[in-house]
Structure 1
Amino acid sequence: MSDTALLDVDGTLVDTNYQHALAWFRAFRRFDLTLPVWRIHRAVGMGGDQLVPAVAGEEFEDAHGDAARDAWTEEYEPMSGEVQPFDGARDLLVELRRRGWKVVLASSGQQDQVEGYLDLMGARDLVDGWTTSQDAESTKPAPDLFHAALQRVGGSSGVVLGDSTWDFEAAGNAGMTAVAVRTGGFSSEELTTAGAVAVFDSLRDLLEGLDGTPLSHPS
């Protein structure tokens, strides 16, 4: 029985993907590694433990992985004040709760960032729980984070909402159905190929079409 809506945060509820890509670009530059920003963006949605070796290689990960992740945190912080929720983010949380879903934010972000986004959306009273980078040994596209999020709220089964291909690979690995929004900058074809059963251009479009999706009602 699907009783839990598991929502990705970065790129799905709040507009952060391009800030993340630029922060990673600047972090890698500290180690004299210049990567195309578009290629980094293709990996945004992975956790940092997965992203660094994916874009910079295992040799770089072994030599500089933890330092690069620390550098990313330092580079992202000055841009965090630019982050805004997507139009409809809070309304979607309200509507999912009204329809009877348990709502959990399935994020691999740092705790202060996730809690900051909750405050930005005024959503602490609209969710049943949330995860952070501390809650899963392996991040997306591994399924650990979705399993941890489901366990956090005592859910039986979940439906995922995300924006990146990695969300849908992780959902598939967790045996969960998933719905996509294009707010992270990925194409409809990429998202459906990765496993999304429905794709919407925005959260407002999703709200208008919610009845035709697996997020319509718990079942």
Structure 2
Amino acid sequence: MSRVLVLDVDGTLVDTNYHHAVAWFRAFRSCDVTVPIWRIHRAIGMGGDQLVPTVAGQEVEDRFGDTVRDKWKEEADAVLGEICAIEGARELLEAARDAGYTVVLASSGKPDHVDKYLDLLDARELAKDWTTSGDVSETKPEPNLIEVALEKAGDNEAVVVGDSVWDCEAARRIGLPSVAVRTGGFGEQELRDSGASRVYEDLHQLRADLPNLPTGKPEN
């Protein structure tokens, strides 16, 4: 069977990280909670279930968690039309297919957001399958999303590709190799410290190295 490319979407294929950070900032502010945007950015890549208590504390989660997440969705919906594909995203998907990878797009985004990204990337014909928030019970840095992606791929020899420390940490927790691109705004060393074996400046560099990516199987 072919190797699996578990490919993150937000921040890796579509340029959303800073839109999400501002949307979370506004969502918190709607509950009279102010969290610095730089701190929110450091948590982008987590799902909302993890992000709220991480950046604002358990008390805010207990009092306002669901309200903040609902408001974030409203704010993110409002800027969805501004989202652009990251340069080289479509070419990466085509090259991965041509290199024999089974591509699964691993997103914990809302289903309507993921639909938008699939259309933006014209990716439905290039990916074997994709995930949304409806597929997972726990989001990154927990590895549930990767486990679901492997199930959808029908194989477990894989490499995880992402843009955040949380992608790399999720892969490390399940024992899979990961590589990262710097398109999400995280630094090279912190990505390596979180488990990335290689870090690329952009998707063009990653595409050129597709034949050499490490693959492995999850630890049981």
TM range (shorter): over 0.9
Say which SS state the counterpart of residue 179 (structure 2) adopts: strand
CA 140–2 in structure 1, closer or farther in 2 if over 3 Å, else same? farther
* 1:37-186 equivalence runs, <5 A: 37-186=37-186
Whether the 8 Å contact between 2:96 and 2:210 is mirrored in structure 1 is no
Question: How far, CA to CA, are the matches of 2:208 and 2:143 in structure 1?
Answer: 29
Whether the 8 Å contact between 1:182 and 1:188 is mirrored in structure 2 is yes
Say which SS state the counterpart of residue 79 (structure 2) adopts: helix
The amino acid that maps onto 1:156 is N
Whether the 8 Å contact between 1:2 and 1:158 is mirrored in structure 2 is no
Say which SS state the counterpart of residue 34 (structure 2) adopts: coil
Give the corresponding residue for 1:5.
5
Say which SS state the counterpart of residue 197 (structure 1) adopts: strand
Question: How far, CA to CA, are the matches of 2:132 and 2:165 in structure 1?
Answer: 19
The amino acid that maps onto 1:121 is L
Q: Measure how far apart 1:78 and its partner are.
A: 1.3
Question: How far, CA to CA, are the matches of 1:108 and 1:116 in structure 2?
Answer: 14
Question: How far, CA to CA, are the matches of 1:8 and 1:94 in structure 2?
Answer: 15
Q: Measure how far apart 1:2 and its partner are.
A: 7.0
Identity %: 56
Question: How far, CA to CA, are the matches of 1:78 and 1:186 in structure 2?
Answer: 25
Whether the 8 Å contact between 2:99 and 2:211 is mirrored in structure 1 is no
The amino acid that maps onto 1:71 is K
Which structure 2 segments of 5+ residues have no match? 216-220
The amino acid that maps onto 1:35 is V
- For normalisation by structure 2, the TM-score amounts to 0.95
Say which SS state the counterpart of residue 142 (structure 1) adopts: coil
Question: How far, CA to CA, are the matches of 2:211 and 2:2 in structure 1?
Answer: 15
Residue by residue over 1:179-218, the C-alpha shift from the partner in whole angstroms, topping out at 9 and shown as x without a partner, is 1000000000110000000000100121223334327xxx
Deviating above 6 A after TM superposition, structure 1's stretches of 4 or more consecutive aligned residues are none
Which structure 1 segments of 5+ residues have no match? none
Say which SS state the counterpart of residue 124 (structure 2) adopts: coil
Whether the 8 Å contact between 1:182 and 1:201 is mirrored in structure 2 is yes
Question: How far, CA to CA, are the matches of 2:201 and 2:105 in structure 1?
Answer: 20
- For normalisation by structure 1, the TM-score amounts to 0.95
The amino acid that maps onto 2:126 is L
Residue by residue over 1:25-84, the C-alpha shift from the partner in whole angstroms, topping out at 9 and shown as x without a partner, is 000000111111000000000000000000011111111111110000001111111111
Question: How far, CA to CA, are the matches of 2:136 and 2:207 in structure 1?
Answer: 30
Say which SS state the counterpart of residue 86 (structure 1) adopts: coil
Question: How far, CA to CA, are the matches of 2:54 and 2:91 in structure 1?
Answer: 35
